[in-house]
A = this chain, B = another copy of it.
Amino acid sequence: MKAEYINPFVESVYELFLTMLSCEVNRGDIGLTQEMGQPRDITALIGLSGPARGIVVLSFPVNTALSIVSRLLGSEVRVVDESLLDSVAELVNIVAGGAKAKLHADDPPIDLSLPTVVRGQRYSVEHPSKSSWLDVPFTSELGTFHLRVALEASAMVNEDQGVPAAARETR
């Protein structure tokens, strides 16, 4: 996967948190992962199609999701209800939409599907074994969370190029 595919998503996360939540986030090491999802996490997914056929995922521990949505709405949210799930779905929509806008300049446009939210006691979210997730862990004062992006084989990571550097300096 080329750097230009992951960086816009990382940038989008920075921007979302800074502009909508007044919260700086820090990313950890980008890694490859074949399977994803911690038990009890709230996982928001949105499909990508076009030059990059894939999926963008934001995966939040429940406490992180509650903190984020509390700040977003300006009042304390203590339960995982429909309104919280809507907000989490909107977050992945905004991140993917922001990335789409950044990618659009040089590439054919990427289209987004509807977001979906998975939650439960114990589950995993997987995708065909020919693809891999690029996993980006984030920390923030609102809690930890993960950004994960899967792209199909034709747009996969070029191992020789290594994992792209953070996009942070381009903010």
- A binding-site residues for B, Cβ under 8 Å: 45-50, 53-55, 82, 85-86, 89-90, 111-131, 150-152
Contact = CB atoms under 8 A, between A and B. Distances in A.
Contacts of A114: 47-48, 53-55, 127-128, 131, 150-152
Q: 9 tightest CB-CB pairs across the interface, nearest first?
A: A47-B47, A120-B123, A47-B113, A49-B111, A123-B123, A121-B122, A89-B128, A116-B127, A117-B126
A73 to B, nearest CB: 15
B129 A125 contact: no
Contact of A47 (B46, B82, B124, B128): B46
Contacts of A129: 82, 85-86
A129 B121 CA distance: 21
B111 A120 contact: no
B113 A117 contact: no
Contacts of A131: 114
Interface centre among A82, A128, A130 (most CB of B within 10 A): A128
B118 A125 contact: yes
Given A48-B47, A49-B49, A116 B125 contact: yes
A148 to B, nearest CB: 11
Contact of A126 (B85, B122, B130): B85
Contacts of A122: 120-123
A54 B89 CA distance: 13
Contacts of A116: 45, 55, 125-127, 150
B128 A86 contact: yes
B121 A89 contact: no
